[in-house]
Structure 1
């Protein structure tokens, strides 16, 4: 559903209609201080979600949703504060506090929130946008009370634990995050610079959510405390709990832990603030990119404005996939490598964005691309809205809504966001109806009102030194206004008054009993193995067909052949053009995709159950009747060549290439990217594609996984066309040995102008196994670099402030495996960071893990199984894993027994054998001129590494 704005996507993909009671029902058994506000239940014949909405006396809104299909719970606390609530000169506070809220509170030690949730077998995170901040955890159902205790402690007892040291560490972490995600990424400044030009000075959306570095540098810990005191009270929060819960007991726990937290200052809703422009504003950014980018942004309305839905439909018609006008006029004609149109909406204002990545060989400058975009808009005006346009959009919304019902976290998040912004957790029926009711006239009306002839922000991002490629000469420049920033006074903290001891960590109830997904299995005479799981929780079916071989079947000279063949399978067939078959799928709300990576060609299908047979008919057409047209081949080849040149502008991509290159060698196909190189793709001909298809698109080594609302007998009947499939036999090539040399060296990949350095530390190891040495090595690595509270991450991120995140892992495939550690780090601390990495690994290698770390490991692995099989996608991955590695169905039980019984002696012996840094190679990607003096002090031989494009 590419046209949906992010805000509504969270709503629409997870719920369908529920019915609101005409008045709040009364209850005499609620805990004191808790009031039932509303109760929702699905109406007959409607898909929906049941919930109850309560409010505590301190203003905290509580929403409960019961779903006992899996023994887990999801807890979300959403605060109605984002970057829009910040002051000029103090940007980034809301995001900063997302970090600070994980740094401990009065009764929770620093880093213990992560540790407790990890030991509970759960996962957690937080997110911030312009309008809200949320914190969430998914845990086994018996861990609910602990999560509520943790969330209440940081809501009511954070301020006494905020120290200058924590403030400084997290300030560096946020700056590292900005460097990694914005400053060191191609096109990373696109959104920030667009917002500066689109919104007037002082508008809540005119500064970035992550903040400006200079603002982060100028504020102090008292400013941060004052921000928390103003916005993080219970009356500005929504606590949503969903899953396998007892409502009465959950309410009692919520009142116990949250009820005494004092109400915060009153919070008024912000006025909607859409903007208008009186003239076009042209901006140019020079960046380390290969493909020039053009983005045209027009201001529109605000979320859930009556014109939002027609604008979303308009964006889909113009640029929502292979049926769109942008695809036809820009991508298919070769003027752009990619092009799209979107209508992202926020609480206060929305934007209409038209984006295209120029094809340098067809587009001399972005002014030509702008002309084609303008001509496309004129074509739309003359063409109008066609019946299939509306059918596609409405089918997509329905399908996405139903697929969104598959996880408790999705439903809880939707309830939370709707309550936060609308005061009505269920807005899905309203949203579905307004999209269903969009007419062709509505779409044309918003086109004339907001798009045709309207002023816009036109952003050109061009390669450095090539400003002549811009769409027009820059006529707008942004300079941050001079502001006087007064430091705030630290607020006086008011401690909640309790009748119990908050310092006592709540215990856990009995661990839930976990059942592995039941499945049925068939094997066809043609060699295809089919594994299926029937589940009627949602009327959907997910199918994955894996053809073994994939890129392994390429030669080094024609690397990328498998990948490009898969891309061609997504194009025209003998009876449908690319656009026609995409249109048919979109009208069903279904998807079919071909891809090739690792050792497989993958075919993925998703469909509503009621549309499965028609979707499979289209799969049969795509699988057995590809057209392999010359024009499709030439277009995809040129797009791929341009994309490969763009990939090498990303430091992380260069690091990944270097790992493969060093481990597997320049002579091996495996040492090259799955997508190939410029030379290998340039060498491909259409006959190579046809030959690969004829030889390797065969069922003889294929595996099919099907999960969804369908029984075995019906599934086998629907899949009869695959049973009848015949194809040639083939063999897989022998996998070459590792090519890396034993002596330790440091390989430097020069990336001039990089804002950070990317580090990788590698060593060959064993391929995957489920219960033997490689599995035990992964257990051994868990305290070192396999969790947030690992030694490596706590050192480099939380203690030194060198990185946004650091980790290590044992990576294992069917035939090869290796150890890898890495991070993106501050340029000026690259040498220091490498020293810390090697010191941590050396110390762990010599001393091993502690008994406390072993206890954490056991708890995390054993209790986390409750989260492993919730959604159809998770069940499908489990079944695919069984097939890929030919595992018994109960291998997980053997793993659990190993985790329960493995001792420190065995684990620490593994660390001694496998973690000798003297046998590890180091890869550094960054600006050589700035890095070389630091790296020379490490005492390793340094070798420049030039990777093939």
Structure 2
């Protein structure tokens, strides 16, 4: 919760004189007051800056300290929830790597979770999870960060963990852990890059734009040839060079005692040695003299044209104006590219963006052609070029500027809804700018952009300038490229021989016994959100909670039925109807609606999935009336024009066609079909198939809307900064809404489980195999059989350090991740095991999964695993209700399953009292039930392995 008070009388006077109103943005010019305060600090700790909350601006209060070894520490106090978020950001990403040694920064992100001198291998995840927290790490070209969110009583333990891997990691790195993580990184690349349609787009464009020696020319995940050539010594030298405290920012936010927190920080981090001096990388703007054309084939159904202009660099004075330009050209239905490419039917998708990194930014345009008007990319390039000419003639209008400024303001406000969001913003600004207090300046940058600025940057960086022009086309359709290649990608397989870093390996000595893990006090008291309920005579149930941490309101209107109301031969009808309701009304076109919502900083989306059609709304409180008026218009006055229907249906069909090239999508389709049957609506994707969607016409959509868009089975969830009386007054259109009741099918005939059979889907271009093991299971319940089964499964496959994941990822190196899980709803449930593995290890992975399930069935959980489960799940409750979306999910869950408000207390009682014997009885019963294997992969690599199994392999033909 942001506390509002002025720092001094002088600061208040300054605010009064500097208050400026922005165009269409009611918040004032952002201003934060800073001071140096005198207080008793631990030895070696210096207070650098204090920023206090200001009632007239959007800012984040904090205190910044410096330790003697150079570590920057930022503390932000937020007592609204009993949790803390810890972020350690190192100013090292792939840009700090040497040519020919790519991927080390990302590699170290993995190694940092493998234990340190006083934390055993695999213990880091276990300690955080058992503490009721969640954690992760991310790497990009400019920085690497590690973060945890935990109950507030676990803070000291987290500081112990983070400091141990900052200062005492290297001695724990072994050749074995090195090789396992090298395999894991390869699996990650295989899953997220090589096995994904268009997955190599970004790394190819970067190779086209940047010289080979430029640090952005190679991908953050690295080239496999570089990773193969790396050694343990290389890795240790890289760590010693860049992971010193003087190159790090430790940011802590949440319900903290600042004095105690600072004392702990100094204890655990203060005696770590300073690392080598770190200098900033020189920022040099990259330009291309002419267009560079390059083409490549990929496992895609539609070709893609991608045009990327190098522009400036992050935080350059022209960055904001270029962002506005990108919005005008290609962001959403009001953009020029949407009008000229999508609305006309030339393309099924098109857009523009201007992402920035520390050293470089790129203005990029993309489009996927519509097969109905031809797949050649030359015409797409011509339309994009014509659009740039049109913009030059059109110029910039007032709404262009207002929409961008409003989106920045609302985005900033929504980012303050969680402690992690505020901590991330503080850490990011401090790392890249040395100024955590940049929120107000960031907003001011966009508020100060003028029409002349936008036109100037267009002419300076885009008009007539060279760009990287990449054509990605399906295999065998090389004639679709926009133009013959005039550029050759650099050879990355034979990097030059480089001198070693010659960095002394980091060694630290502690002045206390670090082997003793800090204890934690009792779990903090968690307050379940207060709520109120109402019902309308037409059937709408309302459940809501007031939340005043940010001036926002979130609504979720759900209509029960969703895709279950589809005829099987027209599966996808609910999804298509909902999608078409976003396309305009009898009053406003889609472009006009999008423009109005952008000016308000609001979002309205209508969709369908699972058991529900939903209307989702996010708005600032000050704009709620106008936003609700647009919501009511979209709900009650949809246009349903033939032109919109034809375009949206075609876009859906093209999306489904592309899904047939994606291994994970095919695996999900196969899993549903095998488990629930081809002739059952549950056995088909929510969005339907190419065949079923092709059967749908506009009259079907109109009939579906007429029959099922009704309040009779509707519920409304609201979380926001508004009183009940005020909110209820605004709902009179929903109260007056009339519609007939309807039935939802409940009699389903699922096919029997066929044990000893494996269903195989051949995807010749796949680079990994996607494996699933599945069967129907019980429906959802909050305190009964289903809930207890999820407790049983937690150590088996739900936690990171579960048996299945540790086996396949950490011990064998077959996968980037593997899990088992229960999913349950009102109509059906399922138990599944899933993973994506190296294709050559498909057989091995199946054998290992079977082994883990069999051992768990026969032997059950250990005492240690049961204790881990109890502590991890019960202590995580402190993280359950922080954000409006979490509160909204809690309320919707109560309505959907008709639960008592205190069902969480009942679950906590079960967690603490369920016996090991009962858990093992559940494991024995559940895991003895027959299941069905499903594998998607390249038959030439996988099929022979599958035939070695004691299973009947069936080639599965997916429903058309």
TM surpasses 0.5? yes
Shift of 1:15: 14
TM-aligned CA distance change 1:122 to 1:931, over 3 Å:
same
Alignment of 1:271-350 (within 5 A): 271-350=282-361
Give the structure 2 partner of residue 63 of structure 1: 74
Q: Which runs of 4+ in 1 moved over 2 A?
A: 14-18, 23-27, 479-499, 740-744
Give the structure 2 partner of residue 7 of structure 1: none
Q: In the aligned structure 2, how far is the partner of 1:753 from the partner of 1:561?
A: 31
For the pair 1:227 / 2:238, whether they are aligned, the reply is yes
Give the structure 2 partner of residue 189 of structure 1: 200
For the pair 1:681 / 2:688, whether they are aligned, the reply is no
Give the structure 2 partner of residue 768 of structure 1: 780
Shift of 1:49: 1.3
Shift of 1:663: 1.0
Q: In the aligned structure 2, how far is the partner of 1:508 from the partner of 1:471?
A: 62
For the pair 1:392 / 2:389, whether they are aligned, the reply is no
Shift of 1:582: 1.1
Shift of 1:672: 0.7
Give the structure 1 partner of residue 745 of structure 2: 733
Shift of 1:332: 1.1
Q: In the aligned structure 2, how far is the partner of 1:642 from the partner of 1:498?
A: 60
Contact 2:58 2:439 in 1 (8 A): no
SS in structure 2 of the partner of residue 346 of structure 1: coil
Shift of 1:763: 1.5
Give the structure 2 partner of residue 85 of structure 1: 96
Q: In the aligned structure 2, how far is the partner of 1:705 from the partner of 1:78?
A: 37
Shift of 1:932: 1.1
Query: Over residues 747-766 of structure 1, what are the superposed CA-to-partner deviations in whole Å (9 max), with x where a residue is unaligned?
Result: 11000021000000011211
Shift of 1:490: 8.7
Give the structure 1 partner of residue 272 of structure 2: 261
TM-aligned CA distance change 1:870 to 1:15, over 3 Å:
farther
Q: In the aligned structure 1, how far is the partner of 2:591 from the partner of 2:498?
A: 58
Match of 1:31 among 31, 35, 42: 42
Contact 2:212 2:490 in 1 (8 A): no
Match of 2:251 among 208, 227, 240: 240
TM-aligned CA distance change 1:581 to 1:486, over 3 Å:
closer
Give the structure 1 partner of residue 830 of structure 2: 818
Contact 1:286 1:463 in 2 (8 A): yes
Shift of 1:43: 3.0
Kindly report the root-mean-square deviation, in angstroms, between the aligned alpha carbons of the 2 structures.
1.4
Q: In the aligned structure 1, how far is the partner of 2:472 from the partner of 2:716?
A: 43
Alignment of 1:582-621 (within 5 A): 582-621=594-633
Contact 1:18 1:41 in 2 (8 A): no
Contact 1:511 1:863 in 2 (8 A): yes
Give the structure 2 partner of residue 833 of structure 1: 845
Match of 2:413 among 379, 399, 402: 402
SS in structure 2 of the partner of residue 821 of structure 1: strand
Match of 1:19 among 32, 35, 40: 32
Q: In the aligned structure 2, how far is the partner of 1:423 from the partner of 1:857?
A: 41
SS in structure 2 of the partner of residue 762 of structure 1: strand
Query: Over residues 731-790 of structure 1, what are the superposed CA-to-partner deviations in whole Å (9 max), with x where a residue is unaligned?
Result: 111241321433320011000021000000011211111111111111100011001000
Alignment of 1:481-880 (within 5 A): 482-485=494-497, 488=500, 493=505, 495-880=507-892
Q: In the aligned structure 2, how far is the partner of 1:741 from the partner of 1:303?
A: 55
Contact 1:541 1:608 in 2 (8 A): yes
For the pair 1:47 / 2:47, whether they are aligned, the reply is no
For the pair 1:363 / 2:374, whether they are aligned, the reply is yes
Shift of 1:480: 2.4
Shift of 1:310: 0.6
For the pair 1:117 / 2:141, whether they are aligned, the reply is no
Query: Over residues 856-914 of structure 1, what are the superposed CA-to-partner deviations in whole Å (9 max), with x where a residue is unaligned?
Result: 00000110000000000100000001111111111111111000000111111111111
For the pair 1:103 / 2:114, whether they are aligned, the reply is yes
Q: In the aligned structure 2, how far is the partner of 1:669 from the partner of 1:698?
A: 21
Q: In the aligned structure 2, how far is the partner of 1:776 from the partner of 1:824?
A: 28
SS in structure 1 of the partner of residue 715 of structure 2: strand
Q: In the aligned structure 2, how far is the partner of 1:25 from the partner of 1:362?
A: 67
Shift of 1:938: 0.9
Contact 2:293 2:484 in 1 (8 A): yes
Contact 1:336 1:359 in 2 (8 A): yes
SS in structure 2 of the partner of residue 637 of structure 1: helix
Contact 2:756 2:950 in 1 (8 A): no
TM-aligned CA distance change 1:447 to 1:438, over 3 Å:
same
Q: In the aligned structure 2, how far is the partner of 1:238 from the partner of 1:466?
A: 50
Q: In the aligned structure 1, how far is the partner of 2:565 from the partner of 2:401?
A: 42
Q: In the aligned structure 1, how far is the partner of 2:431 from the partner of 2:374?
A: 45
Shift of 1:495: 4.0
TM-aligned CA distance change 1:860 to 1:487, over 3 Å:
farther
Contact 1:17 1:427 in 2 (8 A): no
Q: In the aligned structure 1, how far is the partner of 2:393 from the partner of 2:109?
A: 48
SS in structure 1 of the partner of residue 711 of structure 2: coil
Alignment of 1:188-207 (within 5 A): 188-207=199-218
Q: In the aligned structure 1, how far is the partner of 2:747 from the partner of 2:151?
A: 41
Shift of 1:263: 0.3
Shift of 1:404: 1.2
Q: In the aligned structure 2, how far is the partner of 1:662 from the partner of 1:42?
A: 56
Shift of 1:80: 0.3
Contact 1:784 1:791 in 2 (8 A): yes
SS in structure 2 of the partner of residue 296 of structure 1: strand
Q: In terms of mean alpha carbon deviation, does 116-125 or 267-276 score higher?
A: 267-276
Contact 2:556 2:615 in 1 (8 A): yes
Give the structure 1 partner of residue 437 of structure 2: 426
Q: Which runs of 5+ in 2 are unaligned?
A: 1-24
SS in structure 2 of the partner of residue 622 of structure 1: helix
SS in structure 2 of the partner of residue 295 of structure 1: strand
SS in structure 2 of the partner of residue 65 of structure 1: strand
Contact 1:668 1:736 in 2 (8 A): yes
SS in structure 2 of the partner of residue 700 of structure 1: helix
Q: In the aligned structure 1, how far is the partner of 2:209 from the partner of 2:845?
A: 39
Shift of 1:581: 1.1
Query: Given the two structures, how large is their TM-score scaled by the length of structure 1?
Result: 0.97
Contact 1:785 1:792 in 2 (8 A): yes
Contact 1:223 1:487 in 2 (8 A): no
Query: Over residues 55-78 of structure 1, what are the superposed CA-to-partner deviations in whole Å (9 max), with x where a residue is unaligned?
Result: 000000000000000000000000
SS in structure 2 of the partner of residue 877 of structure 1: helix
Shift of 1:17: 4.0
Alignment of 1:362-381 (within 5 A): 362-381=373-392
SS in structure 2 of the partner of residue 37 of structure 1: strand
Q: In the aligned structure 2, how far is the partner of 1:781 from the partner of 1:933?
A: 32
Q: In the aligned structure 1, how far is the partner of 2:84 from the partner of 2:392?
A: 49
Q: In terms of mean alpha carbon deviation, does 425-434 or 110-119 score higher?
A: 425-434
Contact 1:665 1:740 in 2 (8 A): no
Query: Over residues 37-66 of structure 1, what are the superposed CA-to-partner deviations in whole Å (9 max), with x where a residue is unaligned?
Result: 011113342232110000000000000000
Contact 1:18 1:50 in 2 (8 A): no
Alignment of 1:148-163 (within 5 A): 148-163=159-174
TM-aligned CA distance change 1:878 to 1:124, over 3 Å:
same
For the pair 1:914 / 2:926, whether they are aligned, the reply is yes
Q: In the aligned structure 2, how far is the partner of 1:574 from the partner of 1:691?
A: 17
Q: In the aligned structure 2, how far is the partner of 1:568 from the partner of 1:582?
A: 14
Shift of 1:492: 5.2
Q: In the aligned structure 1, how far is the partner of 2:52 from the partner of 2:874?
A: 35
Contact 2:415 2:421 in 1 (8 A): yes
Contact 2:241 2:503 in 1 (8 A): no
